Chain A
């Protein structure tokens, strides 16, 4: 199994530009999570999907952030326009369910730097 795949692995952009992060969950998993990690705030959940439907987006910082899951094998996290404070590592994770015993499998992350 290839695990959770994220692209790009690194992204450097200028303030005001649109950024799109991509995630392919593990085949057969029906839950997908987007997390962000910064030195100041640690790891925090942005949004998660169950069966391609967004369930909880309370962690999304503001309207500049949006996430979609058009099908079971693909999700995007978009930032438009990007700002320097969005610089962070963004992780995608998937699991085969949402119960408290389900293991989440994380991708390698996308390291975003907004200049």
Chain B
């Protein structure tokens, strides 16, 4: 399985943009890039996913490098509620593993008022 590398922790100020990086240098051409986050004392929740093009939704944006070896999750205006552990996960369209998620350590984001 292709692996991802994320910083252990990051800090942000409230109402400022946050860029959460993820390196996946061994990504294959059929790997989708997914982001989930886990708020304190809750289960993980889906944030966004993409394959090659940048993606936007109401929660965040996903910027994917042209060579796809890295990606960045962008929170445009961090709020205190965005404090969570953010996981970058690769999922292979040709993987017969049934869609299971393989979580790494993630990035713990703290947001200061």
- Listed in ascending order, the chain A residues whose CB lies under 8 Å from chain B are 4, 31, 33, 35, 42-45, 48, 50, 55-56, 91, 93, 95, 97-109
> Once bound together, how far apart are the Cα atoms of A42 and B43, in whole Å?
13
Which of B14-22, B63-71, B74-82, B96-104 sits within the interface?
B96-104
Contact present for A45 and B101 (CB under 8 Å): yes
Shortest A94–chain B CB gap in Å is 11
Contact present for A106 and B43 (CB under 8 Å): yes
Cβ of B93 < 8 Å from any Cβ of A?
yes
Interface residues of B in 8-47 (CB under 8 A from A): 30-32, 38, 42-46
Shortest A89–chain B CB gap in Å is 9
B 86-109 binary contact with A (CB < 8 Å = 1; else 0): 010001110101111111111000
12 further contact pairs, Cβ within 8 A, besides A31-B98, A100-B99: A42-B105, A43-B103, A55-B98, A91-B43, A98-B99, A100-B31, A100-B32, A100-B91, A101-B49, A104-B46, A106-B44, A109-B43
> Once bound together, how far apart are the Cα atoms of A109 and B87, in whole Å?
18
Which residues of chain B have C-beta atoms less than 8 A from A98's C-beta?
98-99
Contact present for A93 and B43 (CB under 8 Å): yes
Chain A, Cβ-Cβ closest to B99: A98
> Once bound together, how far apart are the Cα atoms of A99 and B44, in whole Å?
18
Which residues of chain B have C-beta atoms less than 8 A from A109's C-beta?
42-43
Given contacts A42-B104, A101-B49, contact A31 B99 (CB under 8 A): yes
Shortest B47–chain A CB gap in Å is 10
Q: Top 3 closest A-B pairs, CB basis?
A: A106-B43, A98-B99, A100-B91
Contact present for B45 and A97 (CB under 8 Å): no
Which residues of chain A have C-beta atoms less than 8 A from B99's C-beta?
31, 48, 95, 97-100, 102, 104
> Once bound together, how far apart are the Cα atoms of A94 and B70, in whole Å?
28
Q: Which of B32, B92, B93, B100 contacts A48 (CB 8 A)?
A: B100
